[in-house]
Amino acid sequence: MLEPGEVEHLARLARLHLTPEEQDTLRGDLGRILEYFRQLRTVDTAGAEEMQRPVTLVNVLRDDVPGEVFAQDIVAALAPEMEGGFVRVPRTVETD
């Protein structure tokens, strides 16, 4: 079982704001997941062959096709703020 401080630390790293009740629920959920992995560690895999690729599906991607390009004056009219010909957006990644 995880300690309360560990759950708070994980929540902070994930930038989650959890209530004490949510932290308790998460601590229980993570504890069950960790217990499951502890059980998996006890499985004897001595004679098992490694799986190189468990799924044989191939991902087929379509070719990129250029779409409509909007004129800069149209984009500028729709954007809340422009700077140097670019749309200015709020910072989404914080540095500690």
pLDDT tens by residue, 17-71: 999 999 999 999 999 999 999 999 999 999 988 888 778 888 888 898 999 998 9
Q: Is 61 inside any structural domain?
A: no
CB atoms within 10 A of CB 74: 9
Q: Is 58 inside any structural domain?
A: no
Q: Is 83 inside any structural domain?
A: no
pLDDT digits (tens, 9 = 90+) for 1-16: 788 789 999 999 999 9
Q: 0.85 exceeded by the pTM? A: no
Q: Give the pLDDT band of residue 93 (cuts 50, 70, 90).
A: confident
Torsion of CA 71, 72, 78, 81, to 10 degrees: 170
Q: Is 24 inside any structural domain?
A: yes
Dist. CA 60–CA 80, nearest whole Å: 38
Q: Is 20 inside any structural domain?
A: yes
Q: Is 71 inside any structural domain?
A: no
Domain count within the chain:
1
Q: Which domain holds residue 24?
A: 4-41
Q: Is 19 inside any structural domain?
A: yes
Q: Is 50 inside any structural domain?
A: no
Dist. CA 9–CA 27, nearest whole Å: 12
CA 42 vs. chain centroid, Å, equals 29
CATH of the domain at 33: 1.10.20.60
